Amino acid sequence: MSFRRDFKCGKWPFGGQGGPDDVPSPTGAACLKISEILASADEHAGEYSFGGLAQTLPVVPGLFVNNVGSIPLPLAPDHAEKLIAKCAKSPFGHNMDTKMDESVRKSWQLEPDQVELRNPLWQIGMEKLTETIATRLGYKGVPLNCVLYKLLVYGEGGHFLKHQDTEKEDGMIATLVVQPPSTHEGGDLIVYRNGQVEHRHDFGKADATAAYFPHYAVHYSDAEHALEEVTKGYCLALVYSICLPESKYHLKRDQNMTMSDELANVIKGMGPDNDSFALLLSHEYTKKSIGELGTDALKGVDGARVRVLEEANNLVPSDKKLRLFLVKLVVKVVAALSEEGWREYSRKQVLHWYTTTGATLGSWDDKMLSRKLNFLNPGHESFLQVWQPYGVPEDVYSDSGEPIKRTKYSRFAIIAWSAARHLENVGALVSAEFLAAVAPQ
């Protein structure tokens, strides 16, 4: 009953108004559109490029090449030379022609029918990895096909200038590059978007895991990408085509208009009346996890929504960018027992501010309950659903021995506003000390 008592007047934390079953919406056409787009982010975000440690794959793939035999990894010079002797030089496409020019591309390749991966755990691991890829590309639950296209070998000086892949299989939507354990230097995969570097995949070199574990990278099939020059050693890569099954071809999307692109277009059009919003996070987080990891600590739907929001923000011009903060919203309601029953004794709101990397910016105590937040509502939740599960009641006693009911409601949120009006927004919110902490450097 404490929840109904705490909000019986229809006034909700940080400016919300309505009945318990009312479903609030943000004000402003742009914020409403952002909320609608983020409603799909849990299942349809579609990351442009991603990768990292291939945890589902065995360290030893059991690589076997026809007429060469087993190839131990990391690739040693003597085995690399034997493998290269079996390979053909890699061509590249230009104006519908196939050309050979080592100033553009220098590598060797083998057709898939010449290659076997004999470790039975490799195929099992690839199936699990493909499920992960499907989810992150925005095709959760769709049984994508992962087809080996080529085995590539890059030696010292090997590279491939910026280019786009052709559609090698029907229904192809993305390219997967798997690099088994390797000790080479250089050879990062660079993925571009709108002419700018979007992702750099180093396949474990930065954290010194490249020699001990397989790594992977995924990008949309029509994304521009390049392989930087290998400066030392030999690099072996397995290139796969990620394809929709024939029965799902209708699901293929315009890869040039991802969710982050759509969101970026809305952010670009935000005017002075739509320049701030708050996105409540669905999961609970500790001060420790937020402080150590920032937005990297976010799970599930929270991670999907914030990731696409950050991606979109990176795509807009500097004068249209948003400033994003992680904020813990706290509401404390205290009720005391009177002759008429329980009555509200006090209420206060507190905002604990963090950067998106987790640095603490301090707290602001909204004693006058004056701060109103423009909440997005991508989950279409009612006021009751938004706040009731996050309340923790506590029965205590006053100094005079009278019973007191105290309830604390707390949720983390992302608060965003126009970078162009950053100081104006901060100045309306917080102390001079906080203002100094978040001022642009």
Residue 68 has what pLDDT? 95
CB 232 within 8 A of CB 160: no
Domains along the chain with CATH numbers: 2-43+258-438 (no CATH), 49-251 (2.60.120)
194 CB neighbour count, 10 Å cutoff: 10
Residue 339 has what pLDDT? 67
Q: How far is CA 208 from CA 155, 182, 202, 276, in A?
A: 20, 10, 10, 41
| Tokens encoding 303 | 């991670």
**CA Rg, the chain, in Å?**
27
Residue 441 has what pLDDT? 46
CA 30 to chain CA centroid, Å, is 22
Comparing CA positions, the residue from 74, 338, 309 lying closest to residue 203 is 74
- β-strands 225-227, 159-163 pairing: antiparallel
Q: How far is CA 75 from CA 63, 126, 180, 233, 279, in A?
A: 11, 21, 9, 8, 48
CA distance 357 to 291: 8
Residue 346 has what pLDDT? 79
Residue 380 has what pLDDT? 93
| Tokens encoding 38 | 């983020």
Residue 51 has what pLDDT? 96
Taking 50 as the pLDDT cut, the residues of the chain under it are 1, 43, 432, 441
CB 3 within 8 A of CB 261: no
Three-state secondary-structure class, residue 357 = coil
Longest dimension (CA), the chain: 94
CA distance 401 to 167: 76
Which residue reads 């009278």 in tokens? 402
Residue type at 232 in one-letter notation: K
